[in-house]
Amino acid sequence: MKLTKDSKKANKTKIEAPVKTSTPASSEVVNKIPTIDYSKVEIEPLFKDFVDFETFSKSDFRAVKVKECRAVPKSKKLLEFILDDGTGEDRTILSGIHDYYEPEELVGKTLIAIVNLPPRKMMGINSCGMIISAIHQEEGQERLNLLMVDDAIPAGAKLY
């Protein structure tokens, strides 16, 4: 599904910065939370099959910092991420999320990736892992959000 620039903007949920309010008697911080009509959200059903712990524990999930991100030439969907995964060497991961994110808005973010998948060549570029995202349907349209975590988490931190 290809979204227009307007629908890309509508797809992104913005959380407003906390607003400080003061009264003569007290000071408090009020957080504005986006209004989401969850009655219009469709979630994919859970898998019925179980994965044993040994199989699950073979997956290496890590916090990664986005050093660079750019659109892959001749591709409408792919973004090429250059990531700091804590090893001291850059990791390249391609992800088909350009319908949802512009490259410049992801630079500097801390994401979650699985880093022990075998390399997969896409558009002539080796992708060495997978960035983790959450997907759901809302009012008949697919919504995708990358898993972004606190920037205080260092690159390479392992998830358990």
**In the predicted model, is pLDDT for residue 16 greater than 70?**
no
Distances in whole angstroms, Cα of residue 62 to Cα of each of 45, 72, 83, 106, 112: 26, 24, 11, 17, 6
Quote the pTM value.
0.75
Residues 77-135 have pLDDT tens digits of 999 999 999 999 999 999 999 999 999 999 999 999 999 999 999 999 999 999 999 99
- Spatial CB neighbours of 58, under 8 Å, sequence gap ≥ 6: 116
Tell me 158's DSSP state.
B
Domain ranges within the chain, ordered by starting residue: 61-160
- The class (CATH top level) of 61-160 is mainly beta
> Kind of pairing, strands 130-131 and 110-114?
antiparallel
Between 104 and 11, the more confident residue is 104
Per-residue model confidence (pLDDT) at position 96:
97
CA–CA dist 26, 30 (Å, integer): 13
